[in-house]
A and B are shown apart, each in its own frame.
Chain A
Amino acid sequence: MTSDFVLYGLGRWLHIMAGVMWIGLLYYFNFVQVDALKAAAADTPPTGAGITKHVAPRALFFFRWAAVVTVLAGMMILGDRLDDALLFKERAYVPIGIGAWLGLIMLFNVWVLIWPNQKKILGIVAATDEEKAKARRVAFLASRTNVMLSMPMLFFMSFSATFHRALLG
């Protein structure tokens, strides 16, 4: 088994699988769950408890750890070219560098803004109603920010290999 196979075969496979889970769950939260919970809260009696108690914690578990695996696998694929990408040292690495930075910002949002606030919202850690309301807003905006960032991130990830050739010949 050559190192190329591990890096570019298994590494990219892991990167894409974890990325599908991460971004898939991000889109599930934003395109499905947010509005579904709003509708469930308006039911009499409210019917969203099953989602917040049983679905959301499981979804958030795979969501936050898939984010870590995606980023680590991405760094593994870049290997010793990681600094070329992140510091924009070589112009061929500019597109993947921009994609990588967007991914890193999104990882920060997951672990620093979304998950700690979701723990308050879901009652995993104690919080007053006021703290919960603030946590809901911060987690919501961080999640929406990640949906916004995911669009250029996926563009640069999918196009980076041909970007250089397409633009510079």
Chain B
Amino acid sequence: MKNPLDSLWGTVISGLVLTVVLFYLARAMMGA
């Protein structure tokens, strides 16, 4: 599988996915 960070769009999409994942993690850590 190709490294998504090799392409600019792969990097941006990875950043968006990571933002969503961390948002839900933060929410869970805050007990929401």
Chain A residues within 8 Å of B, Cβ to Cβ: 30-31, 88, 91-92, 94-95, 98, 141, 144-145, 147-152, 155-156, 163-164, 167-168
Contacts and interface: CB of A to CB of B under 8 A. Distances in A.
A94 B30 contact: yes
A31 B12 CA distance: 11
**Chain B CB within 10 Å, residue with most, of A98, A144, A156:** A144
A167 B11 contact: no
A151 B19 contact: yes
Contact of B30 (A30, A31, A91, A155): A91
B5 A141 contact: yes
A98 B27 CA distance: 11
A92 B30 CA distance: 7
Interface string B18-31: 11001101110111
